[in-house]
């Protein structure tokens, strides 16, 4: 379990040599894999202190984004951003995906959507401001749901085309619907099932897709036979608790799967934080 504390308010700090610098390009981040199997990102000492954009602080370490990156420090390579999910330390993976969330926002919001003028960084707040019309743009967060569908001591696990990892049903909240309504709709659309007895489990920021994941447990209602939408899923099967495999990648979905494996239906008497939350 990650116990580090993130200070995500916009409070720019001067970079120190041991602070971390993220080099992002579309879908990738610059890392070095160590002999221990862990990985690291460049420090300010390695990357230089020019063209850095302050992102946030975790405990005593500040994280920056290199805004111009024609050259990179030696010994590092670009890898797919999602590859960091499988690497250690997990607190760095959390920092990477949160930094990538901000990188995408900065990258896709360079011009005013109202008048077309190039946006400027506000000196005190985390927002982009238009010097011509005053329009302000703040970081976006896209709410999404993820649901553990249960049938007694069975859990519904799905697979997606091109992937063999079993996962829970998940999807975005649509305009004009609550998170609970999104659960019912996504379950119906993807599996053909109806659910009842929704119970809130927890949330997790998921910066790879700029999401805030909202987790629920639910019981299947009526016929438990899944009819997966083959445009969305490649399969959906009921798995008994004793046959659920341990989850190696830290995520809210993994945490919910492991909770069901060891405890069954969600009970607030058992703290969920004992598992994999970033």
- Distance of alpha carbon 50 from its chain centroid, rounded? 29
pLDDT of residue 238: 98
Residues facing residue 218 across a β-bridge: 149
Task: Look at residues 106, 95, 97 and name the one whose alpha carbon lies nearest to residue 139.
Answer: 106
pLDDT in tens, 30-78: 999 999 989 999 999 999 999 999 999 999 999 999 987 778 899 999 9
For residue 23, pLDDT beyond 60: yes
CA–CA separation, 47 and 42 (whole Å): 6
Question: If pLDDT is split at 50, 70 and 90, which confidence band does 277 have?
Answer: very low
pLDDT in tens, 175-216: 999 999 999 999 999 999 999 999 999 999 999 999 999 999
Residue-averaged pLDDT of the chain: 92
Query: Could you tell me if 272 and 202 are in contact, meaning their C-beta atoms sit under 8 angstroms apart?
Result: yes
pLDDT in tens, 152-181: 999 999 999 888 889 999 999 999 999 999
pLDDT in tens, 98-125: 999 999 999 999 999 999 999 999 999 9
CA–CA separation, 151 and 47 (whole Å): 52
pLDDT of residue 1: 41
Tokens standing for residue 75: 């010994």
CA–CA separation, 255 and 26 (whole Å): 29
CA–CA separation, 157 and 165 (whole Å): 9
Query: Could you tell me if 37 and 60 are in contact, meaning their C-beta atoms sit under 8 angstroms apart?
Result: no
Residue 80, φ and ψ in degrees, nearest 5: -55, 135
- 243: Cβ–Cβ under 8 A, 6 or more apart, which residues? none
pLDDT of residue 192: 97
């Amino acid at each position: 379990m990650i116990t580090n504390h993130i200070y995500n308010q916009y409070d720019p700090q001067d970079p120190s040599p041991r602070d971390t610098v993220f080099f992002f390009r579309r879908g990738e981040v610059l890392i070095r894999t160590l002999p221990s199997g862990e990985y690291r990102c460049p420090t300010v000492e390695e990357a230089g202190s020019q063209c850095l954009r302050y992102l946030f602080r975790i405990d005593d370490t500040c994280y920056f984004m290199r805004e111009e990156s024609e050259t990179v420090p030696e010994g590092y390579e670009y890898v797919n951003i999602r590859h960091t999910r499988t690497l250690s330390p997990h607190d760095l993976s959390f920092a990477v995906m949160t930094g990538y969330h901000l990188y995408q926002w900065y990258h896709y919001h360079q011009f005013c959507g109202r008048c077309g003028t190039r946006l400027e960084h506000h000196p005190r707040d985390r927002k982009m401001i238009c010097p011509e019309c005053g329009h302000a743009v703040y970081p976006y967060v896209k709410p999404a749901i993820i649901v553990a569908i249960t049938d007694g001591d069975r859990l519904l696990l799905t697979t997606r085309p091109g992937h063999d990892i079993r996962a829970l049903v998940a999807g975005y909240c649509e305009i004009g619907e609550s998170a609970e309504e999104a659960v019912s709709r996504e379950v119906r659309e993807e599996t053909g099932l109806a659910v009842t007895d929704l119970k809130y489990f927890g949330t997790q920021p998921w910066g790879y897709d700029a999401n805030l994941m909202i987790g629920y447990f639910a019981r299947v209602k009526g016929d438990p036979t899944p009819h997966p939408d083959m445009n969305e899923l490649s399969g959906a099967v009921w798995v008994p608790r004793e046959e659920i495999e341990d989850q190696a990648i830290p995520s809210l979905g993994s945490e919910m799967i492991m909770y069901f494996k060891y405890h069954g239906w969600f009970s607030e008497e058992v703290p969920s934080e004992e598992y994999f939350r970033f």
